[in-house]
Amino acid sequence: MFKYRRFPASVILLCVRWYLAYCLSLRNLEEMMQERGISVDHATIHRWIIRYAPVIAKAFNRHKIAAGKNWFVDETYIKVGKRWMYLYRAIDNYGLTVEFLFSEKRNIRAARLFFKKAFERNDRPESITLDRYQANHTALVAIDNEHRLRNENGKLISPIKIHTGKYLNNRIEQSHRCIKRRIKPMLGFKSNTSANIIFNGIETIEMMRRGQADYARSALLNLKQQFEMLIPAK
């Protein structure tokens, strides 16, 4: 994985971890590496992030535990270039990340993709809290009907309860802030591809912090230890 790289794997993973975990720009990292006697350009650090963030996310997802039974779903605006894009996110009643999806559009199709992804990676929830945007309600009902199971008597189980209210989704809106705060030093994204990769990396870091992996349930591991478990710096 790190073959033919000019810099040691430990340096590469350190830069990737710090960039995804903390409010640092690429130039901040370039300066911090220089203080440690390592001369690396900020553009090189960006290439490392684009190359290795998906690897880390994929490795983590193999260990991610299912979320709780009550979800809170919302989408937030993200600017890429001169266009506004959308980040669909869901957390459970414990504040743990259920799922996320970066999308160019905010419509029924995007909402269906998000709910389909969330249902496939987690246990079916008992309730979901949404805002009043009708496309999300329509997509959820459609996906729920497709994924509903039958009980021992062959009858369909009850549909997911949908809650809507002015202040019911405050917790997911608060959760958005940690993502928005993290991307502020980045000064915007230039492409959908890099934005999607970086959001996946940031969300993965947040799940690590909350102990959402099976290997973290019995041991309190910090981010560095979890990185080394997923991708050994050798």
pLDDT, tens digit, for every residue of 117-142?
999 888 889 999 999 899 999 999 99
pLDDT score at 55: 93
Distances (CA, A) of 176 to 44, 193, 203: 29, 20, 11
pLDDT for position 200: 93
74: phi then psi, degrees, rounded to nearest 5: -160, 165
In this predicted structure, the answer to whether residue 17 has a pLDDT above a threshold of 80 is yes
Contacts of 19 (CB under 8 A, 6+ apart): 26, 29, 45, 49
For the 70-186 domain, the top CATH level (class) is: alpha beta
Specify the domain boundaries for CATH 3.30.420.10 within the chain. 70-186
pLDDT, position 218: 66
Per-residue confidence (pLDDT) for residue 186, from 0 to 100: 77
Q: Using CA atoms, how far apart are residues 193 and 200, in angstroms rounded to an integer?
A: 11
CB 86 within 8 A of CB 76: yes
| pLDDT score of 109 | 96
Is 69's pLDDT higher than 60? yes
Distance CA 220, CA 200 (A): 23
Distance of alpha carbon 42 from alpha carbon 21, whole angstroms: 17
Given pLDDT bands bounded at 50, 70 and 90, which one contains residue 82?
A: confident
**pLDDT bracket for residue 152 (50, 70, 90):** low
Tell me the sheet residues that pair with 75: 88
The answer to whether 110 and 127 are in contact (CB under 8 A) is no
Portion of the chain with pLDDT greater than 70, in percent: 93
Alpha-carbon span 229 to 59, nearest angstrom: 10
- Residue (of 35, 51, 50, 67) closest to 2 by Cα position: 51
pLDDT class of 153 with cuts at 50, 70, 90:
low
Query: Could you tell me the strand order of the sheet in which 161-164 lies?
Result: 97-103, 83-92, 70-80, 127-130, 161-164
* pLDDT for position 87: 93
Band of residue 150 on the pLDDT scale cut at 50, 70, 90:
low
User: d(Cα 21, Cα 53) in Å, to the nearest integer?
Assistant: 11
Residue 231 near residue 55, CB atoms below 8 Å: yes
Q: How far apart are CA 167 and CA 203, in angstroms?
A: 24
